[in-house]
Amino acid sequence: MILVTGATGQLGRRIVDQLVARRGGTAGLAVSVRDPARAADLAERGISVRPGDFDQPAGLAAAFAGAEKIVLVSTDGPREARIAQHRNAIAAARQAGVGHIVYTSFIDVAADSPAEFAAVHRTTEADLAASGLKFTVLRNPLYADLLPMTVGAALATGVFQLPAGTGRASFVSRAELAEAAAAAVLAPALAKTVYELTGQATHDYSEVAAAIAKVTGKPVRYAAVSAADYTDALAGGGLPAWLAGALSTMYAAVAAGKFDRVSNDFAALVGHPPRPLACLVQELFGRN
């Protein structure tokens, strides 16, 4: 049996859909979710829905019982809470006798990275390595899906601001990352433990702005700001303090070159490369 955690989230649900499509049905597929009521549609499709709260480890082993493979979709929240949640899930997987964990990590896990997200995923990868379980790490890049939120008001004002400096990053959609995750889970054998699921090329945010301007026909430009100013702007807009700080340090890591990486791992798993930035921007902004 294959079990996907966080299956009501945006990435987890897409991974479930990809697994169903690739396997030709829902037999032998389960999910664990905090609130089973939110997964009623999955249950209606014949998927076993199990309550599993990473903050309540006592019940996790039962949620994972019988699973040969688990897709551990990383959680959201402050750094220490996420680390503890992932640690609880790994311990429960050991207790339940799970054979293999596939973990959705992040492209930036550098020890010298300023990013809070890097610390979370670096720690969880280390916990997996120390667990004694077979595991595969899928390091995801920046979600292309977040570009409309990132650019946001720039379509009206003409400018968006980030503390990314002149740093470069690649962008891949959640749908494509889910496709790669499903391929990894269903592969009869994997060549390595860590896969870096980057785009075909990296881009700075001036290039992103130019691509969006070309598609929308609207003047859009990128302006670099300090991490402190960006954090204040996000917090002033109502984001929780932890999230404002985490996003700001993530873009600071982009500025520091931590996301300027390109790999062929996506194609090795899926059989074709992910879509280039121009195609993603057309899909995301073409109707604006």
Percent of the chain whose predicted confidence (pLDDT) is above 90: 98
CB 134 within 8 A of CB 99: yes
Q: What is the pLDDT of residues 90-147, one digit of tens each?
A: 999 999 999 999 999 999 999 999 999 999 999 999 999 999 999 999 999 999 999 9
Who contacts 76 (Cβ-Cβ below 8 Å, separation ≥6)? 82
Average pLDDT over residues 10-38: 96
Per-domain boundaries in the chain: 2-139+172-198+261-274
- DSSP strands (E only) in the chain: 2-5, 29-33, 48-51, 69-73, 100-106, 134-140, 142-143, 159-162, 168-169, 171-172, 194-196, 203-204, 221-224
Q: What is the pLDDT of residues 146-189, one digit of tens each?
A: 999 999 889 999 999 999 999 999 999 999 999 999 999 999 99
pTM of the prediction? 0.96
- pLDDT for 152 equals 83
* 2-139+172-198+261-274 under CATH 3.40.50.720, yes or no: yes
